């Protein structure tokens, strides 16, 4: 049973930083794609960053230069370090994986396992 659990969200002022964590159980994060998505109220879920099974990170334009994705394979944990946060970064952040795939697909529907989400609120 694959389980993903996010933590680390919270409320910060614009310009601040946060680190999100996603602890995986029943799933070897080392070998497979792991991703961060977010969903703001009234908007569609969008991808934020991915870390494929080959060790390559990728970022959506909204977070480039400010967000950094990493994995601790020994702890089966995925991280998202966010700095210079903006009010438009306010959203529920989810980690996800597309079920034993090394590559990272682009579509939300391609991801099979999701965490419960962690709220990030950035005030101006």
Cα angle 76, 82, 88 (rounded to 5 degrees) comes to 125
The pLDDT of residue 28:
78
In this structure, what token pair is assigned to residue 33?
């794609």
pLDDT at 20 (0 to 100): 98
Is 76 in a helix, a strand, or coil?
A: coil
For residue 78, the tally of other CB atoms under 10 A from its CB is 28
**pLDDT at position 7:** 96
Task: Give mean pLDDT in consecutive 10-residue pieces for the chain, a chain of 124 residues.
Answer: 93 98 87 95 96 95 96 92 98 95 94 97 97
């Amino acid at each position: 049973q694959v389980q993903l659990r996010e933590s680390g969200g919270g409320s910060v002022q614009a310009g601040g930083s946060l680190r999100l964590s996603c602890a995986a159980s029943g799933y070897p994060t080392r070998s497979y794609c792991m991703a961060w998505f977010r969903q703001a109220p009234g908007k569609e879920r969008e991808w934020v960053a991915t870390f494929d099974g080959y060790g390559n990170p990728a970022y959506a334009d909204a977070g480039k230069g400010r967000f950094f994705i990493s994995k601790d394979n020994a702890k089966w944990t995925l991280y998202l370090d966010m700095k210079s946060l903006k009010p438009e970064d306010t959203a529920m952040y989810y980690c996800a994986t597309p079920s034993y795939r090394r590559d990272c697909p682009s579509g939300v529907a391609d991801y099979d396992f999701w965490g419960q989400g962690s709220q990030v609120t950035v005030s101006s």
